[in-house]
Amino acid sequence: MAKILYIIAHTDYQDKEFLDSKKELEGNTIEVASSEKTTAKGVLGGTCEPDLTTEDALAKISEYDAVVLVGGGGAEQYFEDRIVHDIIKKMNEAGKIVAAICISPKTLALTGILQGKKATVWDPGDRSVIKEVEAKGAQHSEEDVTVDGNIITANGPHAATAFGQAVKKALEEK
């Protein structure tokens, strides 16, 4: 059984990406972190009581086998967040699974871990997010879910189930 850290925005996380991918990982230990430990609110009206803050998660990062960043408009709060960047970098350096869906692969790109990696990301249609990820060295993939080594990315709510399945498969192969 793996221990998985989910990171959701405190406001406007994408409910479907969170719930559908998390369902695929049932049977594992899952902890949910956010910037605050108070009730987090999803863009579709759902709520979640985070188990810990991202700062608390960073303090015990070596316990996790995977980190999953959920998208939604609120995920922008982590684009430049030092604590979340440290979590991502430490997990990647340890060769553990680093997964992100929707716009959250941009956070991965901003840490530098997508340099030379294939990744997918949600884009509003003007390719602006794709261009930003590519500018950080990623090779954009048109696939709904892209796996490149220990990094798993997906491009939106429609891919949430397959994204969860890809994380599950990667954990089973570790």
Mean pLDDT of the chain: 98
- All domains of the chain in start order, with CATH: 3-173 (3.40.50.880)
Neighbouring-strand partners of residue 136: none
The pLDDT tens digits for 76-122 are 999 999 999 999 999 999 999 999 999 999 999 999 999 999 999 99
Report the percentage of the chain scoring pLDDT > 90.
Answer: 99
Between 15-24 and 160-173, two packed helices, what is the crossing angle to 10 degrees? 40
Residue reference for tokens 């959701």: 8
- What is the amino acid identity at position 169? K
Q: 108 to each of 27, 37, 45, 46, 170, how far by Cα in Å?
A: 26, 23, 26, 25, 18
Q: Is 86 exposed, middle or buried (CB count within 10 Å of its CB: 0-12, 13-18, 19+)?
A: middle
The pLDDT tens digits for 3-23 are 999 999 999 999 999 999 999
User: What average pLDDT does range 149-155 have in this prediction?
Assistant: 98
Report the percentage of the chain scoring pLDDT > 70.
Answer: 100
Neighbours of 125 (CB within 10 A): 6
Give the pTM.
0.98
Position 174 pLDDT exceeds 90: no
Instruction: Note whether 75 and 103 are within 8 A (CB).
Output: yes
Position 166 pLDDT exceeds 90: yes
